[in-house]
Amino acid sequence: MCYGAACLYVFWCPLYRRLGNKSVLARVLLESRSCWPHLTGIAGLSVLSLPLTLLYPLPLKIVVDSVLGTQPLPAWLVKTVPMLQARGTALEAAIAVLLGIALLVGAQALFT
């Protein structure tokens, strides 16, 4: 059995001839079989972009709640970076979270 471009005479490949003009998508998938790992990686990174984009309002929430308001920093953030327990570090934490999100989104876009 041959697989698309790996076949020396792709148009005489039995699988290719059996598909005929009925399914262009099946023929394209057959031809691009060697690229499937790369296409899967690109699709995975594209799926990852939505959750990363949804994190953008988080620094604004930290600023409104902890800098302008009276609520403490989120517990997960204080556990992650213990030096944020001081009172005046909420704005610095929000800026750090914003830069971290921007770096993750930039890395994701670079690899896509």
What is the residue extent of each domain of the chain?
A: 1-31, 37-111
pLDDT in tens, 39-88: 898 888 889 888 988 999 999 998 999 889 888 888 888 888 777 776 66
Q: Which one-letter DSSP state was computed for residue 72?
A: P
A 10 A CB-CB count for 108 gives: 15
pLDDT band at 112 (very low <50, low <70, confident <90, very high): confident
pLDDT in tens, 17-52: 665 666 777 777 778 888 889 989 888 888 988 898
Contacts of residue 55, Cβ cutoff 8 Å, sequence gap at least 6: 101, 104
Determine the angle formed by the axes of helices 36-54 and 90-111, rounding to 10 degrees.
160
Which residue from 81, 2, 66, 65 is spatially nearest to 34, judged by alpha carbons?
2
Q: Which amino acid is at 106?
A: G
